């Protein structure tokens, strides 16, 4: 049973995280490597993945947010990466339309949860548009950034901009190595505070770099060797307090030099194998 939330709206990546939705790995996640289209690096040890996820949720809850569990199980292993199928704005939820074919059913699953929780639907991205949440982030509460990628097309980006309204910055994310090593916009940037962001500069869109510069946002640069281990995927629980994947010591040290409080978690099965970091594992419901 889904309990209603008292408030909603997550038009920030760094304001205090109050309510958040997660999905524990289940049978579909355990079988993800069986289909190469899912893009997992190796066979999944489901027991390890579940232990890692449980520890992640325990860490997340210990830092203050109320953590809600999505109980649905579908054929999509990627449902564990709950950030992608849907946004929650101050006006309500926006179910997206993932560009990855096996994820097309996921927005409806999350929308059922948000509606049961008392969150209205503010609009939907519809075909031929595609948008995945990993290609979106709030640089300011009134400024949404959207990346055009292999999973988020121009039609989808423009639909989302029209639904959100206000200032929307649409940028092109590099092709990189194509579908086999797909990158989202959030693969190359993670805001950590109003004036601080973790970035992987070699793949950062120039238009976004210019906006960061104009806003006076300081950059923590992820080294090449920590890009593939999710060094650039950082979840801010509140300004300057971040959850990071283990195994990225240079990025962690750089954040700590900037005065951040950094909390690592084990991310081998739930993170590196499926290419999803701590931001990917969460769908913020309320920040602020």
Every domain of the chain and the residues it spans: 17-287
- Nearest CA to 156 out of 124, 123, 125 is that of 125
Per-residue model confidence as pLDDT tens digits over 106-123: 999 999 999 999 999 999
At 206-246, the pLDDT tens digits run: 999 999 999 999 999 999 999 999 999 999 999 999 999 99
What pLDDT does 225 receive?
Answer: 97
List pLDDT tens digits, range 62-98: 999 999 999 999 999 999 999 999 999 999 999 999 9
The tokens of 32 are what? Answer: 């993800």
Burial of 19 (0-12, 13-18, 19+ CB in 10 A): buried
Q: Give 150's DSSP letter.
A: S
- Alpha helices per DSSP H over the chain: 27-30, 46-62, 106-116, 154-164, 206-214, 249-257
**Look-up: residue for tokens 């059913």?**
105
The Cβ-side half-sphere exposure at 205, using a 13 Å CA radius, reads: 21
pLDDT of residue 180: 83
Q: What is the pLDDT of residues 176-185, one digit of tens each?
A: 999 988 999 9
What fold, for 17-287? 3.75.10
> Does the structure show a pLDDT above 80 at 1?
no
Instruction: Give 184's Cβ-side CA count (13 Å radius).
Output: 28
Which residues make Cβ contacts (< 8 Å) with residue 219, sequence separation at least 6? 196, 197, 198, 199, 201, 212
Predicted confidence (pLDDT) at residue 255 exceeds the cutoff of 80: yes
Strand order in the sheet with 167-172: 136-140, 143-148, 167-172
What percent of the chain is modeled with pLDDT above 90? 97
Are residues 198 and 235 in contact, defined by beta-carbon separation less than 8 angstroms? Answer: no
């Amino acid at each position: 049973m889904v309990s209603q939330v008292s408030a909603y709206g997550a038009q920030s990546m760094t304001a205090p995280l109050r309510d958040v939705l997660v999905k524990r790995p289940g049978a579909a996640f355990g079988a993800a490597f069986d289909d190469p289209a899912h893009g997992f690096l190796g066979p999944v040890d489901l027991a390890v993945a579940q232990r890692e996820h449980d520890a992640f949720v325990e860490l997340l809850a210990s830092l203050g947010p109320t953590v809600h569990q999505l109980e649905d199980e579908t054929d999509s292993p990627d449902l564990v990466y709950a950030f992608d199928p849907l946004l929650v704005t101050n006006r309500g939820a926006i179910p997206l339309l993932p560009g990855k074919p096996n994820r097309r059913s996921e927005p409806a699953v999350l929308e059922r949860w948000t509606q049961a929780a008392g969150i209205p639907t503010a609009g939907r991205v519809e075909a031929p548009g595609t948008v995945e949440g990993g290609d979106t982030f709030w640089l300011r509460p009134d400024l949404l950034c959207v990346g055009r990628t292999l999973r988020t097309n121009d039609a989808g980006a423009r639909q989302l901009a029209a639904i959100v309204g206000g200032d929307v910055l649409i940028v092109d994310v590099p092709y990189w190595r194509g579908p086999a090593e797909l990158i989202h916009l959030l693969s190359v940037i993670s805001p950590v505070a109003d004036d601080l962001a973790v970035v992987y500069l070699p793949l950062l869109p120039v238009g976004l770099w210019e906006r960061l510069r104009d806003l006076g946002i300081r950059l923590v640069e992820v080294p090449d060797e920590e890009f593939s281990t999710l060094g650039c995927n950082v979840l801010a629980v509140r300004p300057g307090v971040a959850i990071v994947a283990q195994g990225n010591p240079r990025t962690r040290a750089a954040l700590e030099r900037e005065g951040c409080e950094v909390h690592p978690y084990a991310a081998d099965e739930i993170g590196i194998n499926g290419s999803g970091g701590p931001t990917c594992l969460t769908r913020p419901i309320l920040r602020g």
